[in-house]
A and B are shown apart, each in its own frame.
Chain A
Amino acid sequence: MKGLFKKFREGLRRTTPTFHKAFGKVGGVFGAKQLDAASLGELEEALYGADFGVETTEAILDQIQAAFRANRELRGLDAARIGAEVLRSLLGGAEVPLELGSHHPEVIALIGVNGSGKTTTAAKLGHYFREEGRSTLLGACDTFRAAANEQIVTWAQRLDLPLVSSHHGADAAAVAFDAYQAADSRDCDVLILDTAGRLHTKGNLMEELKKIRRVLQKQDEAAPHHRWLVLDGSIGSNSIEQARVFHNAFSLTGLIITKLDGTSRGGALAGIHRELQLPIYFVGLGEGSDDLQPFSVDHYVRAVFGLEDDEVPAGS
């Protein structure tokens, strides 16, 4: 478990992000030192810098300031612990174990805006499930973007995963239908459908998604059993809006946050969770096929606030 945590944290802090500067100072250099107005200002900047947005930042700051008023000798490390606690409670319910196996095949549809990392995530997920001992099939429903097909074909070859694909411009719902039949006849456990990127503001493209769903439902009424939104972790507050619109159109069942290996903190996920209460199943922490990891609230919160792994968070 520790190795996994390390990876999570390494992904989250490869170089000097503001968080580590601020919390490094507060929690490290100033660890034993008391807070003052200036370091509270730094805290605020760090929280905004992590894309937590106005509401979450204020929620965390309020708690820290209240603690500071009650105890003028509050140290930086204490502040980090309080912040971690608030964030942890905001993210309550975000970490839910993924349960597969009640359907056969179990269909997962990956959706999201352009460039959020759906195709790469589909391949990595296939790899992940196969490592878990589940037979997995990929369905290439992105028939729109030029060479999207070739991209997923290359991934499938690289990872040796079976794939059902069609040609550029084909009907995405038809590919979904074929992929389902293939998965069914080959007795696969999991079918992962990669769909074309679409901005949530495009009504007609959102309709196409619904069509994919309708077609699948002809074979299995509950399919696709999982409807996951793939979100780019470096996107700011708009990801909340994206999630809301996709949720309204397609009733999402979970989220995957990608590209958290940069310097971004993906703080918007706190806002999304507060609004939609969706579980976060996986996070993308790098480009390798193993770098898609199950989401852990504890790891995330501690990495964000720079608390050590042996540091027992307050209240747990």
Chain B
Amino acid sequence: MLETLTDKLGGALRNLRGVGRLTDENMAEALREVRSALLSADVHFRVARDFVNNVKEQCVGQEVVKSVSPGQMVVKIIHDELVQLLGEGGGALIEKKPLRVLMVGLHGSGKTTSSVKLARLLRKNGYQPALVACDVYRPAAIDQLERLAQDEGLPVHTDRKSKDVPRIGADGTRFAKERNANAVIYDTAGRLQIDGDLIEELRELRKRVQPDEVLLVADSALGQEAVNVARTFHESVQLTGIVLTKLDGDARGGAALSMKSITGVPIKFIGTGEKPADFELFHPDRMASRILGMGDVVSLVEKAQENIDEKEAEKMAAKMRKAEFDLEDFLKQLQQMKKLGPLSSIMDMMPGGAGMKVGDKEENQLKRTEAIIQSMTPRERANPQIINGSRRLRVANGSGSQVRDVNTVLKQFGQMRKMMKMMKGKKGKRMMQQMAAQGGGGGGRGMLPGV
């Protein structure tokens, strides 16, 4: 993983310590870093250049606020600018019944999956959606849409004999009407934006079905090509929105910024997983943090929500507050953490964690801790103080470890408990407040607005 922009800027702006005002000269190196960070996030060359010039204009002449470092200040300006650019004109689909949505894009960008996901979302918002299979080229594309739609209980119009796409589209509109559907989603074949014949077919289809929304489905990991793709599709079928897919990967997603800036077409939805429910409205602030490599705390939180039983978590928190936390709870916590995926991928999502090496060693450590606790009796887990020498030996033998490993686990646990006890009292509250204040002001890496 790349260094975070904040880290890089930190270095570039070190000379700025004690400087009261940002100027052209003292900004030059920092802005070069910004540009290269944007380029490594796959932002288009020209977009990156214009963006940096914009930021420069905003930065130069600014007083450096005492409490933050110049690096943090520049990052904040950049972040805000990004959020604004990404978010302009965004929002949901237009509210209209019946609503017709045409899905277009390159091969393998995720049109079929996104079509079904969108239908599902629309149904949740009170529509009665129907799907139309207009991909007559890719083998089994119709089967795929049909299968996914069936799983969701959505009506779908297919015509396996015809290759006349505009006609299928028109038939689909009729099909939807007959079934009283008031949202029709047309899934089309993947095509290169430079494939004249197929683009013409899309134009014809657009003419016939008169969609209210034309959504470009684009892989969030697209490179510089994203600009050509978005521009050409926009010119030929007048896009009204973009769906960014595969955001559950770790692409920085600079393509989003490129497409938005060059075409002005807003990003409306994002696909965040393989399940039909993994589809949501686009959040410019999260995307901005992601492009800048500032970590993706929000996603981490969401991932946690997805995998962790809320009631369980609440119980745990209550126990922690009362300092009743025992080894059994500790074990549960370990197991829940494991559900989030390998430690290294969790670290990558944390601001500043990207550079940290979390390898098999740490992973194995976790496993060993788990085994040690599992080798204890319930009574021992509830009352760790009863674990004497002979019990320690038994636990060590049972978990295939050494007595000193058992000691380490018990010691760690003891420290955790001590901390919790400290948090309990008045003194603890004051400490927490102090920590929060420090985290907000001085935590250079974790500058995430809204978190």
Contact = CB atoms under 8 A, between A and B. Distances in A.
B149 to A, nearest CB: 9
B381 interface: no
A14 B46 CA distance: 23
A188 B225 CA distance: 40
B236 to A, nearest CB: 13
B249 A200 contact: yes
Residue from A15, A115, A154, A262 with most neighbouring chain B CB atoms (10 Å)? A115
Given A45-B46, A238-B42, A114 B222 contact: no
Contacts of A34: none
B263 interface: no
A264 interface: yes
B250 A117 contact: no
Residue from B151, B192, B224 with most neighbouring chain A CB atoms (10 Å)? B224
A147 B144 contact: yes
A14 B197 CA distance: 14
B45 A150 contact: no
A150 B143 contact: yes
Nearest to B218: A234
Contacts of B143: 146-147, 150-151
B301 to A, nearest CB: 17
A234 B39 contact: no
A113 B249 contact: yes
Given A201-B248, A201-B249, A115 B225 contact: no
A91 interface: no
Interface string A1-35: 00000000000001101000000000000000000
Contacts of B138: 151
Nearest to B150: A146
A51 interface: yes
A100 interface: no
A115 B250 contact: no
Contact of B139 (A53, A155, A203): A155
Interface in A222-239: 232, 234-239
A114 B108 contact: yes
Contact of A237 (B41, B108, B110): B41
A302 interface: no
A263 interface: yes
B416 interface: no
Nearest to B116: A146
Interface stretch (B19-27, B180-188, B251-259): B251-259
Contacts of B193: 262-263
B225 A239 contact: no
A236 B110 contact: no
Contacts of B274: 114, 144
Interface in B118-175: 138-141, 143-144, 146-148, 151
A138 to B, nearest CB: 13
Given A151-B138, A151-B139, A199-B249, A53 B109 contact: no
Given A113-B249, A154-B140, A262-B193, A234 B345 contact: no
Contacts of A250: none
B45 A45 contact: yes
Interface string A155-189: 10010000000001000000000000000000000
A237 B40 contact: yes
Contacts of A154: 139-140
B36 interface: yes
A238 B250 contact: yes
Contacts of B141: 147, 151
Contacts of B39: 48, 53-54
A216 B141 CA distance: 30
Contact of A241 (B226, B229, B250): B250
A113 B250 CA distance: 12
B252 A235 contact: no
A235 B254 CA distance: 11
A237 B1 CA distance: 11
Contacts of B219: 115, 232, 234-235
Contacts of A262: 106, 192-194, 225, 228
A50 B143 CA distance: 36
A268 B42 CA distance: 10
Residue from B42, B44, B225, B255 with most neighbouring chain A CB atoms (10 Å)? B225
B223 interface: yes
B14 interface: no
A203 B254 contact: no
A53 B106 CA distance: 22
Contacts of A50: 224
A199 B248 contact: yes
Residue from A148, A237, A239, A259 with most neighbouring chain B CB atoms (10 Å)? A237
Nearest to B225: A264
B342 interface: yes
A72 interface: no
A115 B224 contact: no
A99 to B, nearest CB: 30
A192 to B, nearest CB: 16
Contacts of A144: 274
B1 A153 contact: no
Given A234-B222, A239-B221, A146 B148 contact: yes
A115 B108 contact: yes
30 contacts: A44-B45, A48-B39, A49-B45, A50-B224, A51-B225, A146-B143, A147-B141, A147-B143, A148-B140, A150-B143, A155-B139, A199-B246, A200-B250, A201-B345, A202-B248, A232-B219, A234-B106, A234-B222, A235-B223, A236-B251, A237-B223, A238-B221, A239-B221, A241-B1, A259-B106, A259-B107, A263-B225, A264-B228, A267-B223, A268-B223
Top 10 A-B pairs, shortest CB-CB distance: A236-B223, A115-B108, A154-B139, A150-B140, A236-B42, A147-B144, A147-B143, A238-B251, A151-B140, A146-B147
Interface of B: 1, 36, 39-42, 44-46, 106-110, 138-141, 143-144, 146-148, 151, 192-194, 219, 221-226, 228-229, 246, 248-252, 254-255, 274, 341-342, 345
Given A14-B194, A144-B274, A262-B228, 4 more contacts: A146-B148, A203-B341, A234-B106, A261-B192
